[in-house]
Structure formats: C-alpha cells, structure tokens
C-alpha cells in the first residue's frame, strides 16, 4: 500500500567529507631543484559536508499520496603539501617557460684573504626592450665582514635581477641572477648555498554545491520494510583550485645588508563544472530495535555538464610578479552520477529524530588538467554525518 508522510518534514545533516581529487599536471614545463612529485606528501583533501532537505506532502492538495522534496548539499575539502630542498653542488638553475634572450655571467672566489662574488646580466625582453646589471662584492677574512646586496632593472615586459652574498667569516660567496618576461623565467645561482633553500608548496581546495527537487511516495511492503522511490531534476556544481608555488629563499650573510626577495614560480589551476540532469532512486527503511530504524539510500542519474579551465603561470619577482602563461578552455558532454548511503535513525522524541549516516558519491566526468588540455575523469568522495529530522 502507498503511504504519505502526513506532515512537512525538515532535516539537517553535518559532518566530514573525504575527497578523491585529481592532481593537475603542475610545473610540467618547469625545472628546479626537487622538481618531481617525490617528496610531496599525499594531499588527501578533507573537509566538511552539510545537507538540508524539506519534504512537503501533496495529499492535501488533491494530487494523491505523493510528496515533493527539496534537498541541497554544500561541501568543502582542502589539503596541502610542502617540500624544502637544500641545493647541492656549486650551482643550480630554475627555469619556466621560454623567456626571451639573455646572458648571465657569475663568478665567486674564496681564499685566505676573504670572499669575492661578481655578476653581470644582460637581458632583452619579448618587446625588444633591454636591461643590464653589473655588481661586485668583497668581504675581507674575519668575523663580521660580510656583504649582502641585490639590484633589479625593469623592462617593458619583464625585469632583470642580480644578488651577491659574501662572508669573510667562513669565508663563503654566492651570486644569483635572473631575468623574466611575458614568455618565461630563468634563474641561475653559483657559489656556497649554506642556508639557501628552495621551498615548494601545493595546495588544493574543492567546493561542491548540489540541489535536487524530487517527487516521491512511500510504499509499505507489509514485512517491516518501507520503500520510497523518488524522481526529479538535479543541479550540481564543482569548483577545484590547485596552487603550486616554488621559490628560492636566498640566505643573507649578515646583519648589515638588504633582505633579498624571493625569486620563483607560481601556478594556479582553476577547474569548474556545472551539471544539469535527472536522478531517480529510493530509500529502504525498517525498524531494527525499539525507536531505532535502519535506512539505505541509493540514487543514480544522468546529466549534461559544462566544464571550464583557467590556468595561469607567473614568475615571482621583486617589486612585481610577471605573468607569462594563461590558458582558458571549455568542454561539455554527458555524464553519469550515483550516491549510496546507510543510516541509523534514533527516534528521540515524538517529532524529532537523530540520524548517523555514512555514504559515498560518484561522478563520472569531473574536469582535470593534463598536458595543457582540459579533460575529464571519474571521482569519488566519502562522507560521515550526523543529523536531525523534525516533523511539524
């Protein structure tokens, strides 16, 4: 027989969410010390999920033993990983993209007389504008003798950078130079790198928003089980941001000198998609003890999606960052989605119940970034929530 809830019902759930987020192809065109995924801890994004729903019986409107139910979900998950690399050897480079022509000449020397560093850079940017810097630094042997200095020179579409660090205490010396424009970045270092490190971070954030309007009815099977089929339109949105940043933290030699700004690379990948479709499913519920009910939920559907990619790469430079790559792409198609969950419902009051629920959601086409191209892949998330349900 068919049953209909004889009163409106409002429910609210809140809990944790684990996200299976794909990692975009980051820094695929970048070389720097530690430029591999190895060393980064798995991100394993974790966050929260909250659900709201309202059920309105339609029997009083003369439509029959049906109900209309609106359900909405908001969820957020995030994760991050960091890596610090100490450069080895006497030189290293950092390069991204394909900057216009430039030349760098660095030198350093240490002996019983002290430490010396020198550098020269000449750079012509993509517009034909050029810049040049020359510098020399010397620290006599002895404690407290040290030099830290840097200089920048801007062009129409880029800039040049040169830094020298010397210390007579060790003695030690190092020279650093870089140029960047709207086509890329090149950085070179030579000397003693004690204290200087390359810091890299990856951060991910994912936000999801769902809305579904369902028409359903409850069917009492007579053996303790109640089946509630549902059908209706759904809208879902997905937003995923991934940010990668790597920069050279140059160690100053002294108390007497300028703090040298970081030089590095920053990339942000923004992926988003909207889904418009239809879902159908059912809930199966039965008592398992006094004032305790078991509920199993399943739904599946099809949807049309529209996906977007916005990828931006930037050189981290003193005074102003320089953007050298920006990609925007669009994609659309059809997809499949499904949700499964199980819950224990405790009737704590005549009109109030408490629910503990665990479930998983599957989406067949979530936007991903591979080899400079917007694509799609399936993803799965997991959640654990506690909720309240009130009958008016």
Domain CATH code at residue 248 = 2.40.128.100
Choosing from 169, 194, 219, the residue where a domain stops is 194
User: What's the average model confidence in pLDDT over 134-161?
Assistant: 91
Please check whether residues 135 and 152 belong to one and the same domain. yes
Please check whether residues 288 and 356 belong to one and the same domain. yes
pLDDT of residue 326: 87
SS3 307: strand
The boundaries of the domain holding residue 99 are 92-194
User: What's the average model confidence in pLDDT over 34-49?
Assistant: 69
This prediction has a pTM of 0.85
Choosing from 149, 174, 194, the residue where a domain stops is 194
Please check whether residues 224 and 365 belong to one and the same domain. yes
Contact 162, 150 (CB under 8 A): yes
10 Å CB burial of residue 34 (0-12, 13-18, 19+) is middle
CA–CA separation, 228 vs 286, rounded Å? 12
Q: Which pLDDT tens digit goes with each residue over 159-213?
A: 999 999 999 888 999 999 999 999 999 999 999 988 889 998 989 999 999 999 9
Please check whether residues 167 and 288 belong to one and the same domain. no
pLDDT of residue 7: 78
Q: Which two tokens stand for residue 24?
A: 């975009």
Q: Which pLDDT tens digit goes with each residue over 262-300?
A: 999 999 999 999 999 999 999 999 999 888 999 999 999
CA angle 166, 189, 324 (to 5 degrees): 130
Please check whether residues 176 and 280 belong to one and the same domain. no
Choosing from 194, 219, 249, the residue where a domain stops is 194
SS3 254: coil
Please check whether residues 52 and 115 belong to one and the same domain. no
Q: How many domains does the chain have?
A: 2
Please check whether residues 165 and 304 belong to one and the same domain. no
Please check whether residues 42 and 104 belong to one and the same domain. no
pLDDT of residue 1: 39
Please check whether residues 241 and 355 belong to one and the same domain. yes
pLDDT of residue 234: 96
Please check whether residues 127 and 214 belong to one and the same domain. no
Please check whether residues 255 and 384 belong to one and the same domain. yes
CA–CA separation, 388 vs 13, rounded Å? 7
Please check whether residues 41 and 154 belong to one and the same domain. no
* Cα Rg of the chain (Å, integer): 30
């Amino acid at each position: 027989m068919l049953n209909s809830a004889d009163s409106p019902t409002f429910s609210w759930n809140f809990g944790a969410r684990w996200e299976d987020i794909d990692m975009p192809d980051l820094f695929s065109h970048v070389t720097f010390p530690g430029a591999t995924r190895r060393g980064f801890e798995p991100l394993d994004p974790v966050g929260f999920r909250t659900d709201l729903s309202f059920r309105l019986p339609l029997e009083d409107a003369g439509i029959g033993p049906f109900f209309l139910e609106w359900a909405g979900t908001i969820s957020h998950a995030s994760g991050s990983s960091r890596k610090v690399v100490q450069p080895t050897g006497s030189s290293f480079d950092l390069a991204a993209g394909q900057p216009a022509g430039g030349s760098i000449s660095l030198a350093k020397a240490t002996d019983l007389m002290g430490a010396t560093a020198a550098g020269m850079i000449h750079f012509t940017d993509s517009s034909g504008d050029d810049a040049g810097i020359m510098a020399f630094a010397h620290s006599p042997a002895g404690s407290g003798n040290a030099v830290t200095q840097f200089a920048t020179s801007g062009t129409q579409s880029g800039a040049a950078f040169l830094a020298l660090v010397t210390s007579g205490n060790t003695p030690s010396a190092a020279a650093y130079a870089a140029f960047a424009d709207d086509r890329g970045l090149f950085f070179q270092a030579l000397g003693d790198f004690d204290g200087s490190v390359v810091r890299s971070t990856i951060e991910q954030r994912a936000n999801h928003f769902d809305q579904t309007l369902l028409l359903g009815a409850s069917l009492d099977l007579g053996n303790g089980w109640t089946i509630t089929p549902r059908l209706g339109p759904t809208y879902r949105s997905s937003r995923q941001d991934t940010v990668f940043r790597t920069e050279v933290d140059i160690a100053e030699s002294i108390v007497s000198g300028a703090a040298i700004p970081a030089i590095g690379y920053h990339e942000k990948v923004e992926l988003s998609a909207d889904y418009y479709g239809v879902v159908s499913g059912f809930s199966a519920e039965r008592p398992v003890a006094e004032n305790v009910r078991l509920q199993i939920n399943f739904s599946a559907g099809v949807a049309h999606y529209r996906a977007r990619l916005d990828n931006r790469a930037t050189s981290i430079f003193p005074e102003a960052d320089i953007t050298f790559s920006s990609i925007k792409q669009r994609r659309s198609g059809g997809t499949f989605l499904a949700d499964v969950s199980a819950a224990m419902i405790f009737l704590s009051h005549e009109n109030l119940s408490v629910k503990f629920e665990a479930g998983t959601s599957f989406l067949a086409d979530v936007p991903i970034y591979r080899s400079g191209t917007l694509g799609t892949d399936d993803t799965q998330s997991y959640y654990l929530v506690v909720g309240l349900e009130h009958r008016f």
